[in-house]
């Protein structure tokens, strides 16, 4: 069975500071991992995904994530936070029997001016 | 390219009433999903369709929830009768083929409040 754990339900950073959102996965098979962002009253938008190619994945809006098998992690980073990055971020792992996603509980990012 | 459309955006009902949500996926997408997102939690899959057939409905409370995808395009999710704990955002998503590597594209959701 697949699952993801997002450490830290709330993260606050200053504008211009490094953003680090943590995601650890549990999977009995090689996982496919996704990061989504959700702005208030909107659906989820894909930031990036890992599908067993390069372990460092670059996404939209300057975000990137590194797949580390030894640590079972797929943390999301951005070198410099912008006010517009304030949102809810979800990590998800794809099921081994198809495209069923298992989402984490989310991390709310606040950017302090 | 048009995204996933959902309606209504908001719905308020009293417990024991019925409600239905509609979803129109991205054109050409074979796979359609309904998720329930309770406040403060991540989305939870309720049902997955491949064309007009059900792939997975193991987490759908079948005593009160039903869903259909006639002609393999639009889909409707129904709750009858609603309970207080059904208050949530109901998200519809679609993907091209339903492969594990496919991106799921989400609609804006329907926020349901059950009083």
Contact B34, B75 (CB under 8 A): yes
Judge whether B27 is closer than 8 Å to chain A, CB to CB: no
Q: How many percent of chain B have pLDDT more than 90?
A: 83
Question: What confidence tens digit (pLDDT) does each residue in A80-106 have?
Answer: 999 999 999 999 998 666 678 899 999
H or E segment and range at residue B37: strand B31-37
Q: How far apart are CA B13 and CA B39, in angstroms?
A: 18
Q: Cβ contact (<8 Å) for A41 and B99?
A: no
C-alpha of B43 from chain center: 11
Q: Cβ contact (<8 Å) for A92 and B42?
A: yes
All residues of chain A having their beta carbon less than 8 Å from the beta carbon of residue B102 are 99
Q: Of the candidates B42, B101, B105, which has its C-beta nearest A106's C-beta?
A: B42
- Copy the structure tokens of residue A29: 């098979």
Question: What confidence tens digit (pLDDT) does each residue in B24-57 have?
Answer: 999 999 999 999 999 988 999 999 999 989 998 9
* pLDDT (tens place) for every residue of chain B, 115 residues total: 689 999 999 999 999 999 999 999 999 999 999 999 999 889 999 999 999 899 989 999 999 999 999 888 999 999 999 999 999 999 999 999 888 889 999 999 999 999 9
Residue A83, classed as helix, strand or coil, is: helix
Q: How far apart are CA B73 and CA B115, in angstroms?
A: 32
All residues of chain B having their beta carbon less than 8 Å from the beta carbon of residue A44 are 43, 91, 93, 104, 106
Contact A88, A76 (CB under 8 A): no
In chain A, count H helices and then E strands: 0, 12
H or E segment and range at residue B105: strand B105-106
Q: How many percent of chain A have pLDDT more than 70?
A: 96
């Amino acid at each position: 069975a697949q699952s993801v754990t997002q450490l830290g339900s709330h993260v606050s950073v200053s504008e211009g500071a490094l953003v680090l959102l943590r995601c650890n996965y549990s999977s009995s098979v090689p996982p496919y991992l996704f990061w989504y962002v959700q702005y208030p009253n909107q659906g989820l938008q894909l930031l990036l995904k890992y599908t067993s190619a390069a372990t460092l994945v670059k996404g939209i809006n300057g975000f990137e994530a590194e797949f580390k098998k030894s640590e079972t992690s797929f943390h999301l980073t951005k070198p410099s936070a912008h006010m517009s990055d304030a949102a809810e971020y979800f990590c998800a792992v794809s099921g081994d029997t198809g495209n069923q996603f298992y989402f984490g509980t989310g991390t709310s990012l606040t950017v302090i001016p | 390219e048009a995204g996933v459309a959902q309606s209504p955006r908001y719905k308020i009902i009293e417990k024991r009433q019925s409600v239905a949500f509609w979803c129109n996926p991205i054109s050409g997408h074979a796979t359609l999903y309904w998720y329930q997102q309770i406040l403060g939690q991540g989305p939870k899959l309720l049902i997955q369709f491949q064309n007009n057939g059900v792939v997975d409905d193991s987490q759908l409370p079948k005593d009160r929830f039903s869903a259909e995808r006639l002609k393999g395009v639009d889909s409707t999710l129904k709750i009858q009768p609603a309970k207080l704990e059904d208050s949530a955002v109901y998200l519809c998503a679609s993907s091209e083929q339903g492969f594990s590597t496919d991106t799921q594209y989400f609609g804006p959701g329907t926020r349901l409040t059950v009083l």
